[in-house]
Amino acid sequence: MRAPARISIIGAGPAGLTCARVLHRHGIHATVYDRDARPDARDQGGSLDLNADHGQAALREAGLLEDFARASRPEGQEMRQYDTSGQLLFHHVPEEGERFKPEIDRGDLRALLLRSLPQGTVVWGKALTEVAGPADGPRTLRFADGTSVETDLVIGADGAFSRVRPAVSAAVPHYSGISFLEAWFSDVTARHPDLADLVGEGSAAAADGQRGMFAQRNGGDRVRVYLIQRTPADWTAGQDTDALRARLLDAYAAWSPRFRRIITDNDGPYVNRPIHALPVPHLWQHRPTVTLLGDAAHLMPPLGVGVNLAMRDAADLALALAAEPTVAAAVRAYEATMLPRAAEIAKSLEGGAEFLISDDLPDFATA
């Protein structure tokens, strides 16, 4: 760019931080605003597989691929698929040196990215309420704490229910009809040995056409399990853990006792995660001062592409900002690449949440 521009990234997740890091490597400053009060304000979620084509390619542009290699778990590429009786149908064990999509906990990835940025790059406790100002800029960011910031480019990396998205698009996520109920297990080797054996070092899945179960090894001897059902989005409202457990035991009554023990033995409460998606394709009229990446741009069912595409978006946008003469030209160049790519992948995954409960399960080992 010919002159410094004020660049504001909304959201300190993997995509927002990757964008800031690649910009930093090219001598371009950006400020990241995040609604969390501090980096450890809440649980960051489960394990992520970063594939060589997208997630790892973005980390290479960020200069962090070797750090990722040290922090990741290649053994997490193991994948098991069972039928509901507990019979093993498919088992992928990664070969020695296989690193196409090693796992890393989301919190560990965030910490890796945060360490790579100058102090003060991320401003915590800033919940965006509105992007105001004319389409050709400058834009004004208004926050819930009553403060505001003027900026030349707003990058929406703020996820499914983005507060930046309305500045370019009227689209809103729609509920897929499928919900994940998340359950946590800690110290699994000692406290939950049967689950540890069921999952191995990676992930395990089973489904019967109406409901499914996906268990995922995390770092620190933990496992997260997602109980997947076709339900109303708010089906857990007003129910405590005991009431939900009773409903789940009824829903999974025909499943093996080995799977049903997962329902009865989890540590702590369940967390309901309804699965939403944006319309396909999600396109918008170019705005020279606002753009989107990741779930804010192309929210899809959770079939192994989300964080990878988000980080690829982030690197592509940062590289365009480093290469093009103006912010507007960079945004146009980025969107010319990102939007068709996202539309093609989103089309292939449209309605894909149903795959997660199909008894003809997709091959999660290569998805």
The predicted-structure confidence for 37-75, as pLDDT tens digits, reads as follows 988 877 777 889 999 999 999 999 999 999 999 999 999
What separation in angstroms does the CA of 294 have from each of 68, 158, 298, 338, 352?
20, 8, 6, 10, 18
Residue 1 has pLDDT above 50, yes or no: no
The predicted structure's pLDDT at residue 231 = 94
SS3 (DSSP) at 52: coil
Across-strand partners of 276? 175
Residue 275 has pLDDT above 90, yes or no: yes
Q: Is 96 exposed, middle or buried (0-12, 13-18, 19+ CB in 10 A)?
A: exposed
Across-strand partners of 357? none
Report yes or no: 201 and 216 within 8 Å, Cβ to Cβ.
no
Residue 206 has pLDDT above 50, yes or no: yes
Determine the Cα–Cα distance for residues 260 and 247; give it in Å rounded to an integer: 12
CATH dotted code for 7-76+103-172+278-349:
3.50.50.60
The 122-123 sheet, strands edge to edge: 122-123, 31-33, 7-10, 153-156, 290-292
Closest-CA residue to 226 (of 271, 181, 257): 181
pLDDT tens string 100-132:
899 999 999 999 999 999 999 999 999 999 999
Percentage of residues in the chain with pLDDT exceeding 90? 86
SS3 (DSSP) at 351: coil
More confident residue, 41 or 356: 356
pTM: 0.93
